[in-house]
Amino acid sequence: MSNLIHQRRHRAHAPEAKRATPAFGEHMLNRTSGLHRRNRAQRAAWRELSQPRPVICLIIAMLAFSCAASADSFSAVDDFSLAANPNGVWTYDYTNTLLPNAVTGTGALTGFNYWWDGQSEPNSSIVGENVSGSPITYETTLVLPTDYLVLDPEGNSDVEVLFTAPTAGNYSITGNFLGVDGLENEHPVEILDNGISIFTDTISSVNQSDPFSLNETLNAGDTIGFDVDTGSVYYNLSTGLSATITSSAPEPGTLWIAGIGLAGLLLRRR
């Protein structure tokens, strides 16, 4: 009995066993596991952020389209060339017939390049450009400017610079006709949309300017013709033409309104 009591007292007074302290390796393993869990969480969050979102993709596409959308501009003077007829969007003709001869001016017309019908007076029609960099005076009264094409129908019914729309859209048409002959005789000038007159005026004196500013809706392949018509006499009819045609860019406001509406719809479905 005394031994049993002694054993119980010994156990009662025996110091409590200390908890085992994790070894250094085990401690580092636990720390590393925690880091791995945090890294996995960060990678998962990054993957979530980097997933393509319909709304974000839509906004990016709209921004790219807005930046890319721009107006196309065509200049009758700057685009003029003897390389070919038709020349891109431009055609040079008389009485609905292509001017067939590309001529580089010589002698008194050095620096003046033109398309010619190949006929002699009184039916010698031309469309040309002064590329010399300075006005050219020809036969005393005719001054060929550098910033205009020069059209002369002589006795043919008309000579024309024709624009063909490359794409459908709204087009602004600006410029002017200019009398360039010191003995200018009266004759009509006009602008035609697919052969239908949308502008008419008359040139009757040197330096007379007939400006125009028009807006037309065109389909691809539609034409705008700039015509200088013959007068009651066939001589002294040379007329300058400056024309710029610009296609309208899409309205940014319309794009954004449509995009915001679609973005809202996508958000509601998420």
Q: Which two tokens stand for residue 169?
A: 């859209």
Pick from 189, 188, 268: nearest CA to 226: 189
Pick from 183, 184, 185, 189: nearest CA to 202: 189
Q: 84 near 98, Cβ under 8 Å?
A: no
Point out which residues pair with 176 in neighbouring strands: 211, 242
Per residue in 212-244, pLDDT (tens digit) is: 999 999 999 999 999 999 999 999 999 999 999
CATH code of the domain containing 233:
2.60.120
How far is Cα 226 from Cα 159, in angstroms, rounded to an integer?
8
Task: Return the number of other C-beta atoms located less than 10 Å from residue 213's C-beta.
Answer: 10
Q: Tell me the pLDDT of the chain averaged across its residues.
A: 82
61 and 155 share a domain? no
122 and 65 share a domain? no
Q: What is the mean pLDDT of residues 257-268?
A: 50
- pLDDT top residue among 41 and 147: 147
Per residue in 109-133, pLDDT (tens digit) is: 999 999 999 999 999 999 999 999 9
Q: Which two tokens stand for residue 86?
A: 């038709």
Q: 83 near 154, Cβ under 8 Å?
A: no
Containing H/E element for 58? helix 54-68
Per residue in 56-75, pLDDT (tens digit) is: 544 544 544 444 456 799 99
Instruction: Give SS3 for 16.
Output: coil
Domain assignment present for residue 28? The answer is no
Domain boundaries, position 265: 54-69+251-269
Q: Provide the pLDDT for residue 248.
A: 85
116 and 189 share a domain? yes
265 and 198 share a domain? no
Spell out a b/e string for 111-128, using b for 16 or more CB atoms within 10 Å of the CB, else e: bbbbbbbeeeeebbbbbb
Distances in Å between the alpha carbon of 224 and those of 164, 215, 250?
7, 11, 22
Cβ-Cβ contacts under 8 Å for 78 (sequence gap 6 or more): none
156 and 263 share a domain? no
Domain assignment present for residue 44? The answer is no
Q: With 60 as the cut, is the pLDDT of residue 26 above it?
A: no
Q: With 80 as the cut, is the pLDDT of residue 83 above it?
A: yes
Q: Provide the pLDDT for residue 54.
A: 57
Per residue in 146-163, pLDDT (tens digit) is: 999 999 999 999 999 999
Identify the DSSP state of 14.
S
175 and 259 share a domain? no
State the pTM of this model. 0.71
Q: How many domains does the chain have?
A: 2
Across the beta sheet with 187-193, the strand order is: 97-98, 90-94, 158-164, 223-229, 187-193, 196-203
How far is Cα 270 from Cα 44, in angstroms, rounded to an integer?
19
Angle, CA 107 vertex, CA 203 and CA 116 arms, to 5°:
50
Domain assignment present for residue 219? The answer is yes
Domain assignment present for residue 100? The answer is yes
150 and 200 share a domain? yes
Q: Provide the pLDDT for residue 4.
A: 40
Q: Which of 12-26, 36-50, 63-77, 193-207 is predicted with the least confidence, judged by mean pLDDT?
A: 12-26
